[in-house]
Chains A and B, each alone.
Chain A
Amino acid sequence: MAETLLWVLPLIPTVTALLMLTTRDRRVLSALDVSGSAILFALALVLAREVAVGGPRTLGVFRLDDVGLVFLLLLVVLTLAVSIYTVGWLEQALEVGNMKAEFLRSYFALVHAFVATMVVTVLADNLGILWIAMEGTTITSAVLIGYHGHHHGLEAAWKYIIVTTIGISFGLFGTVLIYAAAADVQGGAGAMSWSAIMKIAPTLHPGIVRIGFIFAMVGYGTKAGLAPMHLWLPDAHSQAPTPVSALLSGVLIKCALLGIIRFQTIAAAACGPAFPAQVLLIFGLISVVVATPFILAQRDIKRLLGYHSVEHVGIVALGLGFGGRVGTYGALLHVVNHGITKALAFFAAGTAIARYGSRDMRAIGGLLAVAPIGATLLMLAALSLAGVPPFSIFVSELMVLRAGIGQGHWIAIAIFLSMVVVIFAGLLHHVGVMAFGEPTATASREPEAWFPLAGMLLLAAIMILLGITLPGSFDGILQRATEVIVD
């Protein structure tokens, strides 16, 4: 049952994508969109229960263990939320003219193809497949980023595809080296499956693995938006259509992180946990520090959120770098929390942008007056991103911090905390500028549409829920995932 699901899961978005091409009617497309995501969601939940009780499931090059499960859940939840949000967003976008009715089906098809590739990356056990799917996400999302067709979008798309392809090719190089090291010990195709490699990892040649890990780290790190390879990220995430931005920031960079985690486990087994931890720690710190000034001095709200993703990916890397059960657990939790919160933030920002017809935060004013609920959600998301309880991100940051203190990385902690406080100030300032004050003339006064709100409220509910409690089942998954990574 579960094994077949492993095959079915990637097929669903693929089929949905193909179905999209058969019609032009917007309602049908939206219905397809939502139902496809819903089915994916449901099946993923079934699979999750299977795995939670029966342990990892393997089928050919596909394998779902608890680590993958964490990412899979995030993926399907966000896909569903995005679909719901898109229904409402589309109307606004069509009015404004960002989207052309005749290209809609290709848009939807691409989105689902994108989702399909991401599903594969999450399910892939074979590092080669992982890489292929990852490159696949690059290609599909590149088209989506350039979708609006104005030359900002095209520029972003070009930068995105070139830079990430380079990164990914480094990733491939890393994969090749790991494969080479593994093939020495045990030849054949099995030498490329992560689970098989993990069995023999301690016997691998540390030198090669070391080089391989660095290549993979930089490669997938580029895709994950770790500084200093992050430069494409704010461009891409700011230019993509809002739902796509949410997927990019919420899920895609997390998939890249999954890749990094896979290689980290191998490296940790082969040349001791200290080495990959150090690398992750350094990249994480760089990301947090580099993101700060750009967040403070930002004017474009979506770029702001993009740089925020850089910071948070950095925090995840820090968590993995601090290591230990706590750190890893915190990092995984942070992956989920940030994914959900960031998607929410992008949604709220998207509606605000549609309302004001501008992405300059100085032009968006008095949002609370014209759109109280949307503004409130935006502020909630911002506060959560800034790490304020009772919102989810506080908990995961707390654990990362705890791990750091436990390991005694005082300097890292000091830098991290001061940056977090400064970023908090900047973010709150920006949001305050948008939310308070008198609404600007350009603002449309029409009441808030329900469909985008529904998508946002779903995410906000999860965000607050994860902020005030951690359900036992979810905790169990995280615990087992931590075990997989740590020992």
Chain B
Amino acid sequence: MDVDSGLGLMAACYGAGALSSLLLARLSGRLALGVGHLAAFAGAVAGLGIALGVLLGAPGRTLTQPLPILFPFARLSLSVDGLSAYFLFVISLVAVAAALYGPAYLRAHSPDAGPARQAAQGFALNVFLGSMAFVCCADDALTFLFCWEGMTLASYVLVVSDDRDGENARAGLLYMVMAHGGTALLLVAFLILTERSGAFDFMALRAAARDLDPATRTTLFFLAFSGFAAKAGVVPLHVWLPRAHPAAPSHVSALMSGVMLKVAIYGILRFAFDLLAPVAGPLPFSWGWIVLFVGTISAVLGVLYALQQHDLKRLLAFHSVENIGIILIGVGLAMILWRQEGVGGALATVALTAALLHTVNHAAFKGLLFLGAGSVLCRTHVRNMEELGGLARRMPWTAGLFLLGAIAISALPPLNGFVSEWLTFQALLGSASRFHGPAGLVIVFAAAMLALTGGLAAACFVKAFGVTFLGRPRTSHAEHATEAPPSMIAAMVWLGAVCVALGVAPGYAMPLLDAPTATLLHGPVASAVVTARGPLVLSTALMPSGADATAISMTMVAALLLSLTAIAWILRRGLQPALHRAAPTWTCGMKPTSRFDYTATAFAKPLRLVFEALYHPRREVTRETAGTPYVLRRIHYAGEVVDLAETQVYHRVEREISALSQAIRARSTGRIYGYIGFVLGALFVALLLSELGR
């Protein structure tokens, strides 16, 4: 496919999808849905084409596409450089799956949806995908902002479109407000630059940023960073995320968690390394360290809160907070190391590679997990794990793929999650031995926290998978579940395949990372550093210490595992033929029922107690006794963990503001002489002030 015409094609696909789903809805909602998703699929494929074309094309290749002049005061254009192409690639990767998954899911999940709703969903999905793709391709502030808000708006529509109950509306509201606040900050950051440059296109902004004084530069960066952080769900700006993402239809949740957050990462990278980067010398000291710190906090808190969720999709959403944190650790490290004299360059490349690789990895496995949760949801209509269980026997494909995703997200070999975390660790270690003094300690601490995060994630997904899919069904919903329709399975298989491929042969993915690393760092590219010893080997050559660098080969390890599994399987069959029978689980001789199965709450309880200080758990136990307190009829236990940021900050602020405005409103007596008095007073004061002003 001709790459240059690709952008037009992609835009055409998404546009056609949006319009057709609006127009066809009058005929039939299902048709509209189908056509809309088909167009989205085509658009995603086109996106993949463009991205690969640029990424694997001639080095430094950039395709630019001027847009018609919509506003007299701004020249709009699109441009796909290495970075844009990479994120476009990530977006399209998941978009393909989502478009494939969508129709069947929506039909199965809400069969009674009216055509208006289906039209809205088809329309919004296309707009959402399109605007996400074009945010990454924007080459001027205006296009960026438009697509950015379009992205927010479309996802908002999708969130509130799923069920028309108050919960979704509230979630959507919180989401919109925080996103809007973030956009406001971005707006200011952009406008300060545009005022200096007098134009909106990035080229002019770069030029304007070249002669900024350090203070302004840093202010601008943190304005932009907090704007993007609000979108990326960085702690403490994350509260909207675990509410909004689960509320959306599952394939949209996959997109929001897997991809939309990454667009914010794109923005951070674009600002830090491209728009605001000084002409020469390293980035200002504070940037990288703060990003690193924030990332670490997000990673740990995200997974800790995820541990205590019983809502499957909410749990996954919290894990997005964690993974964004991990990505930010890499990004922050790259910022710290960039252009440091010595071998900082190579290390920076390692760090950035880790971050970018984790970006695509997270997109893949988080997408997979959300789709899995979606097919559970559309078959059982239950999101609470405590009401599920025993699904592995009823939905084997979904279960298997979900397990795959769980292993991947827990950063366990031989899957892709491990690779990017390994690279992050290597970057951390390398820089730790480089920065002596407290800086090094901070980095090492980050490493320890990262390790903790990995362990907790594993615990969390043992719970998520075990309680949802294993044991006995706890309710009739789970009892009568059946396997999801093939198109949904296919979508999950696609993402699962990506996870395996990126895990077993990550070396082959490195060339994809060359373009972005080159665009941002102008230093050694990813494959020059990471796969220096051949595509099958991940290594951190050119490491600072000069000593023999670490090298691992995922492929070899996978092969080793495979062969050992084969051997073990023989062993498993036993040394001699022996009888094999099934019997009920041992429950001390009592007749086992589903009530014997460990619940999610119980599973997470020890960790809840260990980290009590962070959770502030709330529990109430009500006992029904038969007459005497010694005979218990039943005990009812209810407990929950509160998100500190949410309760301590957001709710408080919200209460204060509404109370204040209520009070102010109550003050107004609709008395006309009061009105007149205000007019007179205004005039009088104005006159006096003008006199004093002279």
Contact = CB atoms under 8 A, between A and B. Distances in A.
Interface of A: 155, 158-159, 162-163, 166-167, 170, 210-211, 214-215, 217-218, 221-222, 228-229, 231-232, 235, 275, 278-279, 292-294, 296-298, 366, 368-369, 372, 383, 386, 388-390, 394-395, 398-399, 401-402, 405-406, 413, 417, 420-422, 424-425, 428-429, 432-433, 435-438, 468-470, 472, 475, 479
18 contacts: A159-B675, A163-B672, A231-B678, A279-B686, A292-B661, A383-B153, A386-B180, A389-B146, A405-B192, A421-B180, A421-B181, A424-B176, A432-B160, A436-B164, A436-B165, A436-B168, A437-B165, A468-B146
Interface string B657-694: 11011101100101010111011111100110010010
A486 to B, nearest CB: 15
A372 B202 CA distance: 40
B184 interface: yes
Nearest to A292: B661
A229 B160 contact: no
Contact of A401 (B187, B657, B676): B187
A470 B70 contact: yes
Contacts of A158: 672
B683 A170 contact: yes
Contact of B70 (A228, A296, A429, A468): A468
Contacts of A229: 678-679, 682
B279 interface: no
Interface string B158-192: 00100011101110110011001100100110011
Contacts of A399: 73
Interface of B: 70-73, 114, 116, 145-146, 149-150, 153, 160, 164-166, 168-170, 172-173, 176-177, 180-181, 184, 187-188, 191-192, 194-195, 657-658, 660-662, 664-665, 668, 670, 672, 674-676, 678-683, 686-687, 690, 693
B676 A390 contact: no
Given A366-B164, A389-B149, 6 more contacts: A298-B665, A422-B657, A425-B173, A432-B173, A437-B164, A468-B146
B672 A162 contact: yes
B686 A214 contact: yes
Given A166-B676, A293-B660, A390-B146, A228 B682 contact: yes
Contacts of A389: 145-146, 149-150
B177 A421 contact: yes
Contact of A475 (B72, B146, B180): B72
Contacts of B664: 293-294, 297
| Interface-centre pick from A167, A297, A383 (highest chain B CB count, 10 A) | A297
Contacts of A372: 114, 116
Contacts of B683: 170, 214-215, 218
Nearest to B174: A425
A398 B148 CA distance: 15
A314 to B, nearest CB: 14
A479 B73 CA distance: 11
A310 to B, nearest CB: 13
A211 B686 CA distance: 9
Contacts of A394: 149
A402 B194 contact: yes
The binding surface of chain A is classed by DSSP as: helix
A163 B679 contact: yes
A469 B146 CA distance: 12
B71 A159 contact: no
B674 A231 contact: yes
A211 B116 CA distance: 58
A235 B670 contact: yes
A210 B665 contact: no
A389 B70 CA distance: 14
Contacts of B176: 424, 428
Contacts of B690: 210-211, 214, 275, 279
Contacts of A437: 164-166, 169
A288 to B, nearest CB: 14
A219 B70 CA distance: 38
A388 B149 contact: yes
What are the nearest 10 A-B pairs in CB distance? A293-B661, A469-B70, A296-B661, A297-B665, A436-B169, A372-B116, A293-B664, A297-B661, A231-B675, A425-B177
A433 B177 CA distance: 15
Nearest to B176: A428
A425 B665 CA distance: 17
B14 to A, nearest CB: 15
A372 B161 CA distance: 12
A324 B693 CA distance: 22
A148 B678 CA distance: 28
A436 B169 CA distance: 7
Contacts of B194: 402
A240 to B, nearest CB: 16
B164 A369 contact: yes
A215 B116 CA distance: 53
Given A420-B184, A425-B177, A296 B657 contact: yes
Nearest to B145: A389
A368 B188 contact: no
Contacts of B191: 398, 401-402, 405
A351 to B, nearest CB: 16
A470 B71 contact: yes
Contacts of A432: 160, 169-170, 172-173
A228 B164 contact: no
A58 B668 CA distance: 46
Nearest to B141: A398
B547 to A, nearest CB: 52
A131 B302 CA distance: 63
Given A235-B670, A437-B165, A405 B188 contact: yes
Given A218-B686, A229-B682, A292-B661, A162 B180 contact: no
A395 B71 contact: yes
A218 B168 CA distance: 45
A124 to B, nearest CB: 23
B164 A297 contact: no
Given A294-B664, A406-B195, A470-B71, A222 B679 contact: yes
A383 B146 CA distance: 14
A368 to B, nearest CB: 7
A163 B675 contact: yes
Nearest to A164: B679
Given A296-B658, A470-B70, A436 B160 contact: yes
| Interface-centre pick from B169, B680, B682 (highest chain A CB count, 10 A) | B682
A427 to B, nearest CB: 10
A221 B693 CA distance: 20
Contacts of B676: 162-163, 166
Nearest to A326: B73
A298 B664 CA distance: 11
Contacts of B116: 368, 372
Nearest to A404: B191
Contacts of B675: 159, 162-163, 231-232
A297 B658 contact: yes
Contacts of B658: 296-297
Given A218-B679, A293-B664, A159 B672 contact: yes
| Interface-centre pick from A235, A429, A436 (highest chain B CB count, 10 A) | A436
Nearest to B670: A235
A27 B651 CA distance: 54
Contact of B687 (A214, A292, A369): A214
Contacts of B169: 432-433, 435-437
B72 A398 contact: no
Given A389-B146, A421-B181, A211 B679 contact: no
A295 B149 CA distance: 23
Contacts of A222: 679
A470 B72 contact: yes
Contacts of B657: 296, 422
A155 B681 CA distance: 23
| Interface-centre pick from A279, A293, A372 (highest chain B CB count, 10 A) | A293
Contacts of A221: 682
